[in-house]
Amino acid sequence: MSAQASCGAAEGAEMGGQGAKAEAKAGSERRRYELFVRRGTSGFVLKQSVEGVGLDGDLLFWSTPQGEVARPLSEISGVHLSTGHIPRHGDFGACSIAFVGAPPLIVSSNTAYGYADEARNRIYRAFLEDLHATLAARMPGKVRYSSGVSEARFAFIQVMLIVMGLLMVALPVVLLAMTGELSMLWVIFVGVGFVWGYFGWVQKNAPRTYEPDRIPPELMP
C-alpha cells in the first residue's frame, strides 16, 4: 500500500468515516471551499484529485479518498503561506496548516495539474480570510502565522539571484560594449525581464511572520 493511501486510510479511520457530503448551508457555521488538499510536507503529485476543505464551528474539515475527516481548531499550531508564479498563467498560493503531533494539511489554489487559475484564487482568498478570522477569534495568540521560504533557502536564493543577474544581464552588457553586436540588446531585454520576475517572487516569499488580521496582500494571489 502506498504512503498516500496509508495516510488516507488512517484519516478515514480516525474520524469514523464522516462521509463526503459537506455542502455548505446558508446561515449555518459550515463553510466548504472547493480547493485541492493533501497531507505532508513534500512529494511531487502529477495530478491532484482530493478536493474540499472548510470550517464548521470549532472544526477544520477536509476531504480524503476515504471520505471527510476533521480536527479541532485547538490542534492547529501554525499557518504558513507561500506563493508561486507560472509564466503566461499567473500566480497561485499554498497554505500549510500545522497540527500538534500530526502531518500538516496543504491547501492550494492551483488546478489539478498545478496551473494558476483566477477562479480558484478567489476561492482560496475567501478561505484564507475565513480561516484567519476564525482562528483569531477562537484561538487568539495561540497560532503562529508565517510566510515565505526558510531562512537558509532564502539566503541561497539571494545568491542565485545575484549569479543570474551577472550571467543574464551584466555579461551581455559587457559583450555589447566590446563587440557592438545589437543582438545583445534582445538578450539583455530577456535577461532583465527574467531576473526582475524572479526578484519579485523572492520578495514575496521572504521569510517573516504576520498578524491574522493583516494578511500580506502579496500572499493573496
Q: Are residues 119 and 174 in the same domain?
A: no
Q: What is the pLDDT of residue 210?
A: 94
The predicted structure's pLDDT at residue 1? 43
Please indicate, yes or no, whether residues 133 and 163 belong to a single structural domain of this protein: no
Q: Binning pLDDT at 50, 70 and 90, where does residue 9 land?
A: very low
If asked whether residues 191 and 213 sit together in one domain, one would say: no
3-state helix, strand, coil in the chain (%, to 5): 40, 30, 30
Q: Would you say residue 119 has pLDDT above 90?
A: yes
The predicted pLDDT at position 150 comes to 62
C-alpha 65/C-alpha 179 separation (Å) is 61
Confidence of residue 25 (pLDDT cuts 50, 70, 90): very low
Question: CA–CA separation, 154 vs 160, rounded Å?
Answer: 10
Please tell me whether residues 93 and 107 are part of one structural domain: yes
| Structural domain of 177 | 151-202
Mean pLDDT within 7-32 = 50
Whether residue 8 is found in the same domain as residue 86 = yes
Q: Are residues 167 and 83 in the same domain?
A: no
DSSP-derived pairing of the beta strands 144-147 and 67-72: unpaired
Do 100 and 176 lie in one domain? The reply is no
- Model confidence over 140-175: pLDDT tens digits? 989 999 988 666 676 777 778 788 888 888 888 888
CATH of the domain at 108: 2.30.29
**Same structural domain, 16 and 120:** yes
Q: Report pTM.
A: 0.69
Residues 121 and 176 placed together within one structural domain of the fold: no
**63-117 tens-digit pLDDT:** 999 999 999 999 999 999 988 877 777 889 999 999 998 999 999 999 998 889 9
pLDDT tens figures, 184-196: 888 888 888 777 7
* Residue 172 pLDDT: 85
Surface-to-core class of residue 113, CB atoms within 10 Å of its CB (0-12 exposed, 13-18 middle, 19+ buried): exposed
The pLDDT of residue 17 is above 80: no
**Shared-domain flag, residues 61 and 159:** no
In this predicted structure, what is the pLDDT of residue 12?
47
Query: Where residue 130 falls among pLDDT bands split at 50, 70, 90?
Result: very high
| Dist. CA 99–CA 72, nearest whole Å | 10
Question: 178 and 101, same structural domain?
Answer: no
Q: Is 62 in contact with 69 (CB distance < 8 Å)?
A: yes
Q: Are strands 67-72 and 76-86 parallel, antiparallel or unpaired?
A: unpaired
Please indicate, yes or no, whether residues 124 and 186 belong to a single structural domain of this protein.
no
Angle of CA points 141, 143, 7, to nearest 5°? 160
Q: Structurally, how many domains does the chain consist of?
A: 2
52 pLDDT exceeds 90? yes
